[in-house]
Structure 1
Amino acid sequence: MTTLSKKSKLIYATAFVLRLAIFSFPSVTNTLAQRVELSTPVTSFKRLTEGVFLYSSNVPPYDGGVFHQSPLLLCLFSFVMTLPSFTIPLLFSTVDLLIAYALSTITQLKQQRDKSIKKLQVERDITPILPSTVAALYLFNPLTILSCVSRSTLLFTNLSIVLALLSALKGKSKPAMFWIALASYLSFYPTMLLPALLLNVYSVGSFAGWISVLFGFSRFFSGSWDFLNSTYGTIIFVTDLTPNVGMFWYFFIEIFDQFRSFFMVVFQFHTFIFTAPICIKLRNQPIFAITVLCGVMAIFKSYPSASDASLYLALVPIHDELFKLDCRYGFLISNLFLYASGLAPIFWHLWIYAGSGNANFFYAITLVYNLGQILLLTDIVYAFLRRQFDVENPNAIGKPVLHK
């Protein structure tokens, strides 16, 4: 690990103090914890608190259809909640800082790798983004701050993902497989990142071993296999239709029951189908492959939240060479994110509290939000492929490419 500069220490310290300052207002944190944009049935801190209460009262936490999080988190917070109240703000703030530090280290490793590959002539005069800047972009992203203060347990999944990527870049196969196994155990969808990690390290057996250990511990702690249906069953079959910023909930509220199974398979298959072509096409760029897959996961998973977008948006600046040359829709994408961020709380209030709107209002703005993510994803993929083509064909720089 590298030594932090004074500038980096100031960034981390400021971000840490900012989070603790917001945590000092319980009314704010409690309100944010209930926002559907920040918390979902499978990441809600409020539901986690209910699960801990049920467990401590010797009531099976997975029997009531309310608690949908893993036994590992239940075990962790059963202990944490016995500590002084300031422990939880410290824990979530520290996790955010660890994610930022891992992102800055990933940036350094990527830039070291890029020194040995061919570049465009114009790029040789451009200074690459500073690792501390990547950390700052994550730590001071409003979505990141809100996710942390809302105590979304997805932060633990995000930490596991970046640590898996960091370990893979360092060539440490067993730690990489442990962290991606932990992320998959916590949230299911990170399993789609495994093929991209295997582009760097080859250890499928280690992944299976860690998953088995995590499930074995969960069975021992919970006393039964009931958690499987309450956690992964809920994620896969979308049994809880609480609104969120994704595209599943409204569709499955409206659909006829006889068609539910068919469309469930289609929706879930659609999320995972991107993995193979992305890993094949980007096999020489595993960091970018994981960035794209995190974007796909943030858009198409069954219970997405702002925390998913915060990780994806933190990985994008690592590929700063793309933004300096080939990205086309930055202004439009920025406006879509701002538009959705401003109107989502308003439309939710009109629907739930004012009674002057309906579910269509809120769902429409979530579609705008996801449109912004899709445009960003397609834009950076286009920029990557265009840059790759220009590197191999210098005479074609600036010229349109026609496919026959």
Structure 2
Amino acid sequence: MSLTAVLASGFALRFAVPTLLPHISHSLAATPQISTPIDSFRSIREAVYFLQNGMDAYDGGLVHHPPLLVAIFRVLSELFGPWSEVAFNFLFAAVDVGVAIKLTNLNRWYNQHQSKKTKSQFTAFSDALVASLYLFNPLMVLTNWAHSTQPISYFLIVESIAQVLVDKNAYRGAISLAVASYLSYSPLYLLFPLLALTYMASGRGSWGREVVVQCSAIFVASLSMLMLLSFALTASQDFVFQCYWPVMSFSKIAPNMGLWWYLFTEMFDFFTPLYKGIFNLYSFVFIVPLTIRLYEPASSPKTGDSFLAMVLCCLWVSFTKPYPVVGDLGFILSMLPIFKNTVIPRTKFLPLTMLMLIVCLLLAPIFYYCWIVLGNGNSNFFYSMNLVWAGVHVLLFLDLIWGRLVYDYVQINQVKDTESIRLTQM
């Protein structure tokens, strides 16, 4: 199947199903594994209703989306009128197709880059296969049908990477990441690995350092401009406390696939500020050392992988987010085929990780139903699957790092018989 056919099929799947069966989007939007209060499309509908009736969208504590995003959906709603739901279906389907196209571009760039580094000829997966693994990933399809705003963030993140590596325009990459950070806060943690990618792609040296400084300034200026426009649009700072403060303070406790909600439900109030600070610190404390460890040094061109560092940082953010959805991990899994020739052949626990993932995805909705609907279980049932979900992240994280370290060892020592090599961690 050609890439065009895959993209068309993926678009049709995302557009036709919620258009013909609109209740699917409403049902999935109420599912904690797929949508949270922070990225829920129901929240956008509430905001649009408030604005159309002359009320403050951020007055009731129900809306957690930034003003500019709400304004865009309000314009679409008024422009298309009774056909607005169809327009929303089209928009979200187009966003996911855009992500798939960017992933195919990154797949080609990465394998060409690694071939040049190692002076070997790598054969990448076809564009159609890479796009298929994203567009027909059940986690991504369900997230899209729920109209969670996370796919918009995924597009902006992958766009920022593609701008730096493929299009060689680091400035647009910084702007894309700034918009992603404005929409959902968590992409802010990806600034450092993106700057490392920028420095590597700019040829290092004094010019590379200058580009990094300029990109940092553009990122700050873009984010500041978006915040100022939001202030001008709402004439209030309430949106800051409704959009970003709940993510940092976890003030809106709701069951989801993350680790935060259960701990802060059971914790004494006296300890809550301390552990909220620790959890927020934990969200980014490993980003910098991970980026530095996997950076591609000019002195040893065959080692390091700054692109893998970016992917691992995305995985870490997914693991530590207070309001994660299944699409966060699905987005990372869709990027793994890019590492077909480098990391994936050296991993050890991918089958075990995939089995854990399947068990978690099957049992999580069942345990949640037993707890909330039937009442014959409790929160421990559902949270046990959250712990398994976290275990999937940890295993995948460690496995990918180990795979890259083994690959670097093979390159440095010029090991020929890679099939029989046995390495261990010391």
Query: What TM-score comes out, normalization by structure 1 length?
Result: 0.94
How far residue 403 of structure 1 moved from its aligned partner, in angstroms, is 6.1
User: 2:76 aligns to what?
Assistant: 80
Q: Quick one: distance in 1 between partners of 2:69 and 2:329?
A: 22
- 1:12-57 CA-to-partner distances (Å, cap 9, x unmatched) read 1111111223212122221111110011111000111111111222
Equivalent residue for 2:152, pick from 156, 166, 172: 156
How far residue 400 of structure 1 moved from its aligned partner, in angstroms, is 3.8
Alignment pair present for 1:330 and 2:350: yes
Q: What is the identity, as a one-letter code, of the residue corresponding to 2:267?
A: I
Q: Quick one: distance in 2 between partners of 1:281 and 1:260?
A: 33
Query: Identity rate of aligned residues, in percent?
Result: 29
Alignment pair present for 1:365 and 2:385: yes
Equivalent residue for 1:238, pick from 246, 250, 257: 250
2:38–2:64 Cα contact (<8 Å) kept:
yes
User: 2:115 aligns to what?
Assistant: 115
2:343–2:407 Cα contact (<8 Å) kept:
no
Alignment pair present for 1:386 and 2:381: no
User: 1:95 aligns to what?
Assistant: 95
Q: Quick one: distance in 2 between partners of 1:139 and 1:351?
A: 32
Q: Quick one: distance in 1 between partners of 2:135 and 2:388?
A: 25
Matches of residues 242-257 of structure 1 in structure 2 within 5 Å?
Answer: 242-257=254-269
Q: Quick one: distance in 2 between partners of 1:331 and 1:193?
A: 28
Alignment pair present for 1:198 and 2:195: yes
1:62–1:227 Cα contact (<8 Å) kept:
yes
Alignment pair present for 1:32 and 2:28: yes
2:344–2:400 Cα contact (<8 Å) kept:
no
User: 1:276 aligns to what?
Assistant: 288
User: 1:3 aligns to what?
Assistant: none
1:189–1:301 Cα contact (<8 Å) kept:
yes
Matches of residues 131-170 of structure 1 in structure 2 within 5 Å?
Answer: 131-169=127-165, 170=167
Q: Quick one: distance in 2 between partners of 1:72 and 1:96?
A: 21
How far residue 193 of structure 1 moved from its aligned partner, in angstroms, is 1.1
Q: What is the identity, as a one-letter code, of the residue corresponding to 1:96?
A: D
Alignment pair present for 1:14 and 2:14: no
User: 2:185 aligns to what?
Assistant: 188
How far residue 402 of structure 1 moved from its aligned partner, in angstroms, is 5.6
Q: Quick one: distance in 2 between partners of 1:77 and 1:130?
A: 36
How far residue 322 of structure 1 moved from its aligned partner, in angstroms, is 3.9
Runs of 4+ with >2 A deviation: 322-325, 394-404
How many residue pairs match? The answer is: 395
1:322–1:380 Cα contact (<8 Å) kept:
no
How far residue 324 of structure 1 moved from its aligned partner, in angstroms, is 5.0
Q: Quick one: distance in 2 between partners of 1:264 and 1:360?
A: 21
User: 1:229 aligns to what?
Assistant: 241
Q: Secondary structure at the match of 1:40?
A: coil
Mean Cα deviation higher: 79-88 or 38-47: 79-88
Q: Quick one: distance in 2 between partners of 1:105 and 1:402?
A: 35
